[in-house]
Chains A and B, each alone.
Chain A
Amino acid sequence: MGHPGDDALLHQRVVSGDESALAELYDRLAPLVFGLCVRVTRDRAIAEDLTQEVFLTFWERPLAFDPARGTLRAWLATIAHRRSVDHVRGEERKKASQLGPRLFEREPDPVEDTVLDAEDSVRVREAVRSLPTEQREALEMAYWGGRTYRQVAESLGLPEGTVKSRIRQALRQLAGMLAEEGVR
């Protein structure tokens, strides 16, 4: 998932024109960005293009991101979500003919822009409620309670590995439920 310190260093390297930093970032965050684009567009080919565009945006104008204001993960997810939604709404074509390429566009403010609207966040909460108790408990402690895997393990009196796999299972199940519900 990365730490804020990793973000700051990756940002410094990308600003300094270090391509290997872009490759590392892609390795770390492409599954998330691509997953998000597929989920919203339901089109793998389009999602591949959008994923590339999201990372290119960061490479081309890295100063639009400010590590003091949020994580790179949240920032890229926000751009991925917005671009995907734009695509679905057919706005991309309109924008391209009216404005030409996005030369001077300011990137979204992660504080204002979100990856989930109010209705969808209700659906996520409902999906969590329908998970088996064991999974739900661990998930809620980790996300709502802001605890580390180790702390969750201590509270539940379970080995950390068990908690980790329980949470991963829960996340996968959640993703499946949300796909059926059409959350994007």
Chain B
Amino acid sequence: MNPVERLYLDALEEATGRDEVPPPAPLLGVARARRRPATATVAWAAPYAGRVAAMDAVLASASAGDWASTVVEGWTLQQLVAHLTAKDGLVADDVGAPVLGPPMCGRDALERTAEMQAYEDARTPEETRETWREQAEVLCRHLTRVAPDTPSSPDGLPVPVRDAMLGRSLETWVHSDDAARTAELRLPPPVAGHLHPMADLCARLLPWTMLATGADAGGRTVRVTLTGPGGGTWLVPLSVDDPRRVREDAPGDAQAHIVTDVVDFCFLLGGRGAPETLPAEIEGDAGLAREVLVAAPAFSGP
């Protein structure tokens, strides 16, 4: 915008009295009908509700061609959305919330995904979007009546539902970013308040990703500093049987210190970006730091 245009706009703004401007109330009513706001839910599920609204914004901008394009895992956007509905439905099933779509034949995430994709195959992208969004909303509303430590196992292993929902936030985020890239849109990261609990989950997963990849943690510890809004510093004892838990801002010695961007780190855990090319500053035991980063994507799947 050139100086003349800025001047023109400032002059218009200055000449318009605040009392002349129409009130915002009608706008907000219509806005709600055009694109649904994030569903009101408990604080620990708010990051998920925010990512669902963001995915919905990606879908709002998707063209007919985008819906049919292959996004990830050989799935079209429509199949990807069906996959999200399937996984959200597994959490819904765990906590007694309504499960949308065809009857659930089993608890395996990939089998349920295939069921949901077959069901959505005969429907329009708008119908697929609607079922996904509705499943997310009934789950969010239901969670207001669920204890956060209720077990849930969308990925096989039981975890407290509050962590399962952070996992759902992360997966919804990673896939909405996949979809945005396919549609040549740039998706901004979650607000800091939503990103921080997801980063905390990622830090707490590190001992488990080490275990899953067979890396020998051997009682060692790393400190992880995630930079940017929503980041922080975590002390991470790398053995799952270490009595010390992964904690933010905890004192204690670490053999290595990894400093990296909070968004890049969450995406690494989500299977996006290679550990070898992740921009990171490392102090101390570089070999250990590399083992931790290489193991980090261990739980990322479709």
Contact = CB atoms under 8 A, between A and B. Distances in A.
B27 A52 contact: yes
Interface string B162-191: 000000000000000000100001111111
Instruction: Select the residue from B20, B31, B61, B63 with max chain A CB neighbours within 10 A.
Output: B31
B27 A55 contact: yes
By DSSP majority rule, is chain A's interface helix, strand, loop, or mixed?
helix
A71 B26 CA distance: 25
B7 A19 contact: no
Contact of A31 (B1, B3, B18, B49): B18
B50 interface: yes
A77 B9 contact: yes
Instruction: Select the residue from A30, A66, A120 with max chain B CB neighbours within 10 A.
Output: A30
Contact of B21 (A12, A13, A34, A61): A34
Contact of B191 (A16, A71, A120, A179): A16
Interface in A60-95: 60-64, 66-68, 70-71, 73-74, 77
Contacts of A60: 31, 34-35, 60
By DSSP majority rule, is chain B's interface helix, strand, loop, or mixed?
helix
Interface in B11-70: 11-18, 20-22, 24, 26-28, 30-32, 34-38, 49-54, 56-58, 60-61, 63-64
Instruction: Select the residue from B11, B30, B186, B190 with max chain A CB neighbours within 10 A.
Output: B11
Contacts of B64: 104
B281 interface: no
Given A15-B53, A23-B28, A59-B34, A171 B21 contact: no
B7 A32 contact: no
A156 interface: no
A183 B51 CA distance: 43
Interface residues of B, number: 55
Given A63-B61, A63-B187, A104-B63, A18 B38 contact: yes
A68 B191 CA distance: 17
Contacts of A34: 16, 20-22
B12 A124 contact: no
B150 to A, nearest CB: 25
B28 A116 contact: no
Interface of A: 1, 8-9, 11-13, 15-19, 22-23, 26-27, 30-32, 34-36, 38-39, 48, 51-52, 55-56, 59-64, 66-68, 70-71, 73-74, 77, 104, 110, 114-116, 120-121, 124-125, 128, 139, 143-144, 146, 168, 171-172, 174-176, 178-179, 183
Interface of B: 1-18, 20-22, 24, 26-28, 30-32, 34-38, 49-54, 56-58, 60-61, 63-64, 180, 185-191, 194
Given A16-B190, A22-B27, 8 more contacts: A16-B54, A55-B31, A60-B31, A68-B186, A74-B9, A121-B2, A172-B14, A175-B14
